[in-house]
A and B are shown apart, each in its own frame.
Chain A
Amino acid sequence: MLSALTFLPLVGAIVIVALPGRSVQLLRMVALAVTVAVAAMGVSLFIGFDGTRAAAQNVLETAWFTLPFGASGAREVDVHFFLGVDGVSILLVALTSILMPLVVMSSIGHINHRVKEFLVWLLVMETGMLGVFLSLDVVLFYFFWEVSLVPLYFIVGIWGGDRRLYATIKFFLYTVAGSLVMLVAVIGAIYYLGTSSIPALVESASDLPAETQAWLFGAFALAFAIKVPILPFHTWLADAHTEAPTAGSVLLAAVLLKMGTYGLLRFGVEMFPEAALTYAPVFLALGAIGIVYGAFLAWAQTDLKRLIACSSVSHLGFCVLGLFAMTEAGLRGSVLQMINHGLSTGLLFLLVGMIYERTHTRRLDRFGGIATVMPVFSFFFVFTVLSSAGLPGLNGFVGEYMILAGTFTVSPFWTAISVSGVIFGAVYLLMATRRVLFGPLVHEENRKLLDLGGRELATLIPLVALCVWIGVAPNGFIQKTAGSLDRISHRVERAQEHMRIGRLSTAQQTVLRTEVER
């Protein structure tokens, strides 16, 4: 099941490579069929998933190769081709698989040259993304992690905007810089613990000395912080988002950034809870500052797409905040918020793409009064903005609320700072909405714009429906994650206990020592 899910897109890509490049329609149909099949598998995986169990499900494990650590005395480590899905990954897997057919559909509107290559990269990317979320072996994880960079490099670099080369190389190098530091940590973890299976690593990582845990955590966290991106590692994001074609932006925002938060949860909080607890204040601060900072950044933008890109910095601040609050509510909210951000920002990018296809501009001052000529578009735009701004009843609110409530008990101060993001979020989103949709129709060329067509509606509606669904009945989604996340929060509690005892005993030691001196 899982290997089919992961590799079907790759097979599709190979099929498309083999097909003639001229019959664009056929290529698109094949890509759509493949992604729809994957989406069906993803949905059925989601439905069949038992959220109460903490352990990974649908596990698939076969030997892959043996890592030699030298013949003399050192351990050998068997690396496995090890896939499985648990509460941390199930939502992301489902989101990825559902998003792909929509992205393929949306690409019909804006990818008109080198379609074949585009679809190939898109499908390769799907394999990469699903692989990242499904891997339960850290070597495999790292494989997919870096492989998934390559398709986006091409997608941005070939089909992107004017500064695409700068943006794509920056994106690649920046991300890879983090990944390579992580590589050292991956090797370290495997070497120190003698296994590469993620569940086994999670179990045994707490046996390591605190300093070792700290540097491993730091190296992992750096890579993921760049990917998320957490302030101040965010500058690649705006460029990549702005230059990428719509499909690339959607995937980047909806899935690729989530690889960062997913990693932080999996390899930061879950694997090294003690180190995570120690450094949590830093991440809370960065998350909260990021929320406000991203909002300010977005507010100052004049390019609509860049504005949305900057808003991602703000929104992902919430995810980071929830992760490092390390409370039940915070973790659940954070995982849900990953999906929410994927949906709403994905929608925003789709919408920006649609208006860009018509006007060939993204500058805010070239719009105005679009609502008069494109009422359906405006409806979706306003809806998405509201979802993004966290209107209760829609998806964004549920996640944000859980995160903030979960963080409040840990750090009221940073929660208060983050809550101000609620205000600033409304400021820049509504500013953008007003400047695009409302007001008089000042630019004559916009008077002839056509409203959304059937294909575009078909792209948007599933996501909109999901937004409402999660907003109204989030429990179905939360419960899928509950088992695994509860185990993580138990681990966190244990770690807290452990740290307290550690601190206590040293305190007692000093007391004893002073007594002896007397």
Chain B
Amino acid sequence: MGSFNWLWLLPFLPLAGSVCAATMHFGTLRARKEGNTGTRLSSIAGLIACGVMAAALALSLYAFIQLAGNREVTALESSSWAWIDAGSFSVELSMVVDRLSSVMLLVITGVGFLIHIYSIGYMKGDPGYAKFFAYLNLFVFAMLMLVLSSSLLGMFVGWEGVGLCSYLLIGFWHEKGWPAEAGQKAFVFNRVGDACFLLGSFLLIAIFDTLDLSDIANSVQANIGANSRLMALAALLLFGGACGKSAQFPLFTWLPDAMAGPTPVSALIHAATMVTAGVYLLLRLNPLYAAAPTVLFIIGCVGALTALIGASTALMQRDIKKVLAYSTVSQLGYMFLGIATGAWSAALFHLVTHAFFKGLLFLGSGSVIHGMRDEQDMYKMGGLRRHMPRTYITFLAGAAALSGIPLTSGFFSKDEILAHTFLHGGLYWPLWIVGIFSAILTAFYTWRMVALTFFGDERFDANKIRPHESPATMTLPLSILAVLALAGGLLNLPALHIPGEQALRDWISPVTAAGDAILYAGAQAHHPSLWLELVLLALGSAIALVFAHKGFHGFKNGWQHDDAMRSKRPELVGFLEHAWMVDSTYAAKIVAPLRLASYVIATLVDQMLIDGMVNGAGRLAMKSGSKLRSVVDGSVMSYALWMGAGASILTVVWTCF
């Protein structure tokens, strides 16, 4: 095992890069104070960050080759680091790459690398250029820790680490005010999930006496029966953690706000990697979930509901990034729906393809925003395909994948999830219908976005804003991602008796075997028959094409369609625009009462009651002291009277008792 100690390099190279970049940042600040621009140092920081990412990508590929080259080897594991020895339990950390994490690794380092390159162009000239790369690298470090840790607690390090970086990057342009608030909101929402995560981990310790992920996964089977309820509770709590991180109902409202960060951040963190951490967690612990069907159903409901909320809200957004954000929420819902049906590989598949196409879309939107001088309102765009051809083409590819246009990556991955839901039947039927309905909405809003952005009249003041194509550092990553978004389906083609079908499922089968064994209890997993598979694929294709068409044509000449809706169904539109009023409900029903409670506690309870008693004791002493002064009136007679009375009482008491 010791020979795989280089795995430690994977997270720690980006960390080192981050430290370097941070140093550069402070160097830049100093240089600026002395009157220089300090851009040289900054650009070095960018290069270092990208170089580190390239190295990490190379290592990931190497790890993947190691695993792929030898099918006997299920996991590469580094030596372990004794982190916490708490007596009754202890936490040892090692870096593990198995089939599942190798996929995640490639996504993180691959997409991450592209986004780093992209950022060189996007962030050019920003005063916090070096700082941005420091944060970005730090994020990659945390994300890799999350994915590679052998222990749940090590995973939690990454889990909170990515949350921190998300916080920092959302608030990157804090001077504007609202990004800082959005970052804070994101962190707090994540913390709600983290609290559940922590409680879940305590339960796991109580059940399994360990936090080692593979040990837990392997001992689930043995604990079924005796500890089923506790395990289900732990699974539910951990899912609560996943809800926070992966923006599921009811904790999704931070993600749209998180768009306040620079767009590469939205692409990397809030689309491709961090938000999928919840999915990864559930996949990692798939036996635990397999053993808790009720929890799975809850997850399914949450996933479907989130998919619906996200998709329907995306319908009415004007901000291009908000559309993508709600779309992300919705797509994440699909992934959880996939997990709920036990379709582990389908969820992972969608995770991967989503990373491609949503990363692409975000980067594309970033390119648009860049070209439009930070304009994000689609109503003020239009006709951009003429000004930004490369962005336009690649954006189309992404949109196609998102809406599930046949043969694109999203088409296959979404379809597989829906197929599994369909097959599961029973209570999952309504979920399937919700999924299908969400797919309809998805196709619609995607092409609405494309139409509003790239087609129709130019609704901006062409004299003030001269849209221009972005530099090569930005368009190159777009092109690569476009190819991946289109061809990503090859990773896991549907079971149509064709070569290369279900490649991803087979690849991670060693990891999901334990879960499957519990889920199907020895029976064969259901596989769709060929014709059913074909019918479902056809249904998916039809939906995508029809509603993509509708969306595109409704908006290719402007947003009049929206106005029509607004005048026809104002309440509905308002409801959708505000994401089903979830956020305002929180503000009114949770935040405001808590805030009130804190004021009540601070003033009434603490100051007046508790401290009042303390100060009251002092005041009582002073007051009684003053009251008693009248006894000492200076009169010899009264003093003598007291003495006489005292002597008499002494006498009486002592003689009579």
Q: Which residues of A contact B (CB under 8 A)?
A: 170, 173-174, 232, 234-236, 293, 296-297, 299-301, 327-329, 331-333, 369, 371-372, 375-376, 382, 386, 391-393, 397-398, 401-402, 404-406, 408-409, 412, 415-416, 419-420, 422-423, 426-427, 430-431, 433-434, 437-441, 472-475, 478-479, 482, 485-486, 489
Contacts and interface: CB of A to CB of B under 8 A. Distances in A.
A485 B87 CA distance: 10
B216 to A, nearest CB: 15
A319 to B, nearest CB: 15
A395 to B, nearest CB: 12
A223 to B, nearest CB: 16
A337 to B, nearest CB: 12
Nearest to A235: B611
Given A296-B601, A329-B86, 16 more contacts: A296-B597, A296-B598, A300-B601, A328-B86, A329-B88, A332-B86, A369-B174, A401-B84, A402-B84, A408-B202, A422-B194, A426-B188, A439-B175, A440-B177, A478-B85, A489-B87
Contacts of A296: 594, 597-598, 601-602
Q: What are the 4 tightest A-B residue pairs by CB atom distance, in nearest-first order?
A: A328-B87, A300-B602, A438-B180, A438-B174
6 contacts: A297-B601, A382-B168, A404-B198, A405-B86, A423-B195, A430-B167
Contact of B614 (A236, A372, A405, A419): A236
The interface size bin for chain B is 35 or more
B29 A375 contact: yes
Given A329-B87, A423-B188, A371 B598 contact: no
B16 interface: no
Nearest to B610: A232
B192 to A, nearest CB: 5
B395 interface: no
B468 interface: no
Contacts of B610: 232, 234-235
B26 A401 contact: no
B89 interface: yes
Contacts of A430: 167, 184, 187-188
B578 interface: no
B195 A386 contact: no
A329 B161 CA distance: 24
Contact of A300 (B82, B184, B598): B598
Contacts of A486: 87
Contacts of A382: 168
A416 B233 CA distance: 13
Contacts of B614: 170, 174, 235-236
Contact of A423 (B85, B157, B180, B192): B192
- Describe A's contact surface by its main secondary structure: helix
A97 B82 CA distance: 28
Nearest to B22: A379
B268 interface: no
Nearest to A393: B157
Interface in B180-231: 180-181, 183-184, 187-188, 191-192, 194-195, 198-199, 201-203, 205-206
Interface string B512-532: 000000000000000000000
Contact of A299 (B153, B164, B202, B598): B598
Contact of B161 (A234, A393, A434, A439): A393
A284 to B, nearest CB: 15
Contact of B160 (A327, A391, A419): A391
B174 A375 contact: no
B603 interface: yes
Nearest to B211: A405
A416 B237 CA distance: 11
Interface string B11-31: 000000000000000100100
A416 B203 CA distance: 11
Contacts of A416: 199
A81 B86 CA distance: 34
B429 interface: no
Contact of B88 (A328, A372, A397, A473): A328
B86 A375 contact: no
A432 B84 CA distance: 31
Nearest to A166: B615
B40 interface: no
Contact of A404 (B188, B202, B598): B202
A386 B163 CA distance: 12
A420 B181 contact: no
Given A408-B202, A423-B188, A392 B84 contact: no
A236 B618 CA distance: 13
Contacts of B597: 296
A232 B174 CA distance: 38
A419 B195 contact: yes
A419 B198 contact: yes
B126 interface: no
Contacts of B161: 391-393
B87 A422 contact: no
Contacts of A479: 85
B250 to A, nearest CB: 14
Contact of A297 (B181, B598, B618): B598
A406 B177 CA distance: 41
Nearest to A421: B195
Given A332-B86, A332-B87, A422 B601 contact: no
A360 B272 CA distance: 45
Contacts of A300: 598-599, 601-603
Contact of B84 (A173, A331, A420, A474): A474
Most B Cβ at <10 Å: residue of A397, A405, A408, A486: A405
Contacts of B167: 430
B26 A375 contact: yes
Contacts of B184: 430-431, 433-434
Interface string B534-569: 000000000000000000000000000000000000
A402 B161 CA distance: 19
B83 interface: yes
Contacts of A333: 86
Nearest to B141: A393
B506 interface: no
Nearest to B180: A438
Interface string B600-622: 01110010001100110010000
B171 interface: yes
B176 interface: yes
Contact of B86 (A173, A406, A431, A437): A406
Nearest to A328: B87
Nearest to A382: B168
Nearest to B175: A440
Nearest to B607: A235
A405 B206 CA distance: 9
B89 to A, nearest CB: 6
Given A300-B603, A408-B205, A422-B194, A371 B188 contact: no
A197 to B, nearest CB: 27
Given A369-B175, A375-B29, A392 B601 contact: no
A409 to B, nearest CB: 6
A371 B174 CA distance: 9
A434 B86 CA distance: 35
A328 B88 CA distance: 6
Contacts of B201: 405
A433 B167 CA distance: 12
B205 A405 contact: yes
Nearest to B602: A300
Contact of B199 (A299, A372, A397, A415): A415
A301 B156 CA distance: 31
